Amino acid sequence: MAAASQTFLLVYSSLLGAELNAIKLGLNLAKPKAFLTVFWNQIAYIHAIKLVNANNIGCTYFNPNIGCTKVRITPSVVSAAVLADLPLLVGEGLGRGRVWARTQVWEPGSGSGPGSVLGSSLGCRSKAGAGPGCWSKDGCEFGVESGVQVYARGWVQVQVRNESEVGVRVRVRVWVQVQVCGLGCMETEKSSIAFFTTYRPPVPLDIYSQYISNENPHEVHMTDGVSYNYNGRPIPSNALQTIHKRISGDSDDDVDISSGLVYVSERKGNLETLYIALHYNNSDYPEVETIDFAHEFGTFDGIRMEDSGCIAGDYLVYVTTKDNPHKHRFPWTSVYKTNLKTSETQRLTPQGKADLSPSVSPSGKKIAVASFKEQGWEGEIEDLKTDIYVFNVDGPDLDRKMVIKNGGWPTWGSENILFFHRKVGNHWGVFRADISNGFTSDTPRVTPEGFHAMTPAAIDETTVAVATIRKESKFDDIVRSVEQYRHIEVFYYSGTPNRDPIKITPRTKPKADHFNPFVIVDKGGDLNKIAIGYHRCKSDNLNVPEYNSMERKIIQLDCPPPNVELFRVQGVFPSFSRDGSRLAFVDNEFMRVWVADNDGLYMVYQTEGPDNVFGPVWNQIEGRDELFVCKGPAFNVKHELDICRLPNIRHHHHFQSKDIIQLTNGYNNAFPSPSPDGKRFVFRSARDGGEDGYKNLYIMENSQVGEFNNGKVTRLTNGAWTDTHCQWSPSGDWIVFSSTRDKPSNAPPSDNGLDPGYFAVYLVNANNTHVVIKVLGSGDDLAGHVNHPFFSPDGKRIVVTADLAAVSIDPISLPLFTHSVRPYGDIFIIEIDDILNNNDEKNRDDVKFVRVTHSRFENGAASWMKFSIGDPNESWKKYVEQYGEHSKGRQPSLCPIIRPRMVQKSLHLNDDRGESWHLTGHLCIRDRRC
């Protein structure tokens, strides 16, 4: 690649003759992985009126400043097109890139009535030099050479139905994205990464509210019901009008907006980002209008997580993970503010710090945050032990000061009163602090001892809404009592707790979990009309006939590396066959093995009870129809755990114990990975680990007979540590694995009682066991977890699950319980090509990695395959469209994350119609003790 210290990308455009300002951006193509994304966007306003006068002509205008373009309305339909020409000039250097267009359409109504959008179309065309161009909805790739001009055109055509005599209004946004990078950052072929997630409920979350008053208790749905929606906050009246005028272009009198909400939604690219919902009391506007915050206000639009949006005067304050702190095992969470009038955006968290859970004071002038300590995050699982800081929203000096030691989730009761939560002993509680004199250690408890109370939302100086769990749950509590669910209650403080709390959610859904309350104050100031909002699973209609209303089991997410597609699988330990046509995984109980392919979704193996099978992996011999699985308890090294083979998957309706072939003969063995030729497999075993249960890597020399019939096992690594999560490289030369071998001798024996901790990633030469290379650890002292490494199809990169970005949310705000795993873990891609080509023992602090996922949930155990699977739900017939459907004589496809006996009545619901543990998204297995 020709060296280029600096390459400039010049982007300019015009829309209907209105020139936009040129944008000159620098891109360093000397680094093969450098890339940037440029967004150009323009809103088009379309207002169509079906006139009763002659010619039946309506008026369509794209911008109030451009004027009115008349179009003829053919029977009750108006069509309008927006065109955008984008000549793109790239200067010196070589590289590759991609250009594509996307659209957003807002409609004033819903369903098929007046104002519904009939459809839209989108395209993109590019041409590089004299070479061929392309015409595609998915965008066009192009090569970049010195002076080459790339031309693209993006358009959208929208048809709007108007069956009434009143005006119909839609808004269309068109934006074109250009991505340019060095030669090294583009794969020659597309590939796909799949992973699974815990703590994320399999049924969508949504936001509801109800009045504190006990008269006629009922829930109000606060969003449009699309996708997952959670962590809502109300929008004050003044800010509602500011937002409305910005998005509508109106300069008319105020519009009657009953309420507004800023919240997190997963509707775009399945990212966890902020949206705004406006609730209108005007027939000319939709009942609920949903606004993409980043697109509307032009903030960062890349891969990130956003959370805790709240209004401070003319600003929206929120948390984002867009900034890389360039420290291992350090949180990416920082607080920003965006001006609702000018879109000016500013970071409020000081560099080198990390904040969570911002809350704005009643005056809108101060912000309270939960801030990590100086050293950042130290691996805390549930209690982050943050401190609370207060600072100004605006001004040259934010005057940031600590006011409370050891507290989280702050909320303002007045300008000087804060409520917050803290764990004391075995229980969470809500506390109160008067910060009128700054820092205080006088923090009386508001909620009683003896049960959990967390995530407070203050109503005033003495009243606060909280989430409670009044009774502990055990693993064997298949059916929970009302007190074992998370409910919203209102507590009062007057020096001594002498007033009974008001239980809000037990009135409407007593056997469902409810999360993270917020307070909605009546616009007229009527204290009797104060409402409490919260989010919960949309479990109301979970019954067998409506199985197809459940979320699709494979979800595609936006992914930062070009030509890599990212998928979340609703099943544990996803494994692709070599040709990419088949997927295997286990359920959340580690009880059943499932396969998804062109025949649908079907169960191939079931054990007698939970926590008895995991880690399926396909034999890599092309055409070999078999799986390797681990049979036995997943997280207990003292118990026997064997590797078995399930042959001829397609010819078995349901494997019985007699049908599976055991390959290991005793001890604790797991995580087999076949060699490229399928004749051998590497695995980890505690067979020589003694009483301490140390684990090393071994190679099974015959993958078909294992240790039996004269089969042999060869030891690969040897030491008093844990080597695990091994995988054979596509070339067959290397084996990647996770290990604690560099754990300091003075480190504690276990990390929070779960596992040894101090996991880093290593490579061992399959043909020379003396060659072992350290790739990457989590923190500077190696503490932490970099686990489940998996090679890219070309063997130049690995994907891992790691805590390199620490934690992005207060874990107690999630559906936690003690039987599951850690509330953190994201997917990262690590470059290993340079390491393999220069494998001397050198400092590896410069190892390059990319954060792929930004999530509050735990992502884990990714696999990487060569082929792009496009829409997997189509290729695998969306698994099974309805419960009870058969696939070529196989067993009916039960939901892969519930107990079969539950299916007789409802999905994810117990016999008493209460939500089951499965609805929390946990791994429903016993405590981890590795």
- Written as six digits, the tokens of 128 are 């590089």
Question: Which comes out higher in pLDDT, residue 479 or 384?
Answer: 384
pLDDT bin (cut points 50, 70, 90) of residue 527 is low
Lowest mean pLDDT among 80-84, 356-360, 414-418: 80-84
Is a pLDDT exceeding 60 seen at residue 20?
no
Q: What is the DSSP secondary-structure string of 432-460?
A: EEE-TTS------B-SPTTSEEEEEEESS
Is a pLDDT exceeding 60 seen at residue 684?
yes
- Written as six digits, the tokens of 16 are 């209907």
For residue 839, the surrounding DSSP H or E stretch is none
| Residue that the structure tokens 């850690």 belong to | 822
pLDDT confidence of residue 222: 93
- Angstrom CA distances, 899 to 104, 155, 476, 592, 816, stand at 40, 49, 13, 10, 20
Give how far the C-alpha of residue 264 lies from the chain's centroid of Cα atoms, to the nearest Å.
Answer: 11
Is a pLDDT exceeding 70 seen at residue 90?
no
Closest CA to 63 of 39, 82, 79: 82
pLDDT confidence of residue 91: 33
pLDDT digits 0-9 by tens, 565-591: 888 887 889 898 888 778 898 887 888
Domain limits of the chain?
7-186, 204-538, 553-661+729-920
The strand pairing partners of 125, in sequence order, are 135, 153
Cα gap 662→520, rounded to integer Å: 60
Report phi then psi at 580, rounded to 5.
75, 5
Question: Which comes out higher in pLDDT, residue 756 or 260?
Answer: 260
Return the CATH fold of 204-538: Neuraminidase (2.120.10)
- Going edge to edge, which strands form the sheet with 723-728? 723-728, 734-739, 760-765, 768-776
Report phi then psi at 191, rounded to 5.
-140, 170
Is a pLDDT exceeding 60 seen at residue 604?
yes
pLDDT confidence of residue 559: 82
Closest CA to 489 of 435, 461, 451, 521: 451
pLDDT digits 0-9 by tens, 692-702: 889 999 999 99
Is a pLDDT exceeding 50 seen at residue 762?
yes
| Three-state SS at 497 | coil
Mean pLDDT to the nearest integer, 237-255:
76
- Written as six digits, the tokens of 313 are 């005067």
**Running DSSP on this structure, what letter comes out for residue 927?**
P
pLDDT digits 0-9 by tens, 29-68: 333 333 333 333 333 333 333 322 223 233 333 333 333 3
pLDDT confidence of residue 258: 81
Q: What share of the chain is helix, strand, coil (3-state, %, to 5)?
A: 5, 45, 50
Q: Are 731 and 904 in contact (CB under 8 A)?
A: no
pLDDT digits 0-9 by tens, 113-172: 333 444 444 444 444 433 333 334 444 444 443 333 333 333 344 444 444 444 444 444
Give how far the C-alpha of residue 665 lies from the chain's centroid of Cα atoms, to the nearest Å.
Answer: 40
- The alpha-carbon radius of gyration of the chain (Å, integer) is 29
Work out the end-to-end distance of the chain between its first and last CA atoms, rounded to an integer number of angstroms.
48
Q: What is the mean pLDDT of the chain?
A: 75
Cα gap 293→99, rounded to integer Å: 23
Q: Are 242 and 314 in contact (CB under 8 A)?
A: yes
pLDDT bin (cut points 50, 70, 90) of residue 416 is very high
Is a pLDDT exceeding 60 seen at residue 900?
no
Q: Are 534 and 898 in contact (CB under 8 A)?
A: no
Cα gap 794→833, rounded to integer Å: 10
Give how far the C-alpha of residue 412 lies from the chain's centroid of Cα atoms, to the nearest Å.
Answer: 29
Question: Could you give the percent of the chain with pLDDT greater than 70?
Answer: 65
In one-letter notation, the amino acid at residue 85 is: D
Cα gap 323→307, rounded to integer Å: 14
pLDDT confidence of residue 734: 97
Q: Are 584 and 595 in contact (CB under 8 A)?
A: yes
Question: Which comes out higher in pLDDT, residue 678 or 913?
Answer: 678
Is a pLDDT exceeding 70 seen at residue 347?
yes
Is a pLDDT exceeding 50 seen at residue 101?
no
For residue 408, the surrounding DSSP H or E stretch is strand 408-412
pLDDT bin (cut points 50, 70, 90) of residue 621 is confident
Q: Are 408 and 386 in contact (CB under 8 A)?
A: yes
Mean pLDDT to the nearest integer, 848-854:
91
Buried b / exposed e along 130-155 (16+ C-beta atoms within 10 A)? eeeebeeeebbbbbbeeebebebbbb
pLDDT digits 0-9 by tens, 281-331: 765 555 788 888 988 887 887 889 999 999 999 999 999 999 999 888 999
| Residue that the structure tokens 């043909």 belong to | 767
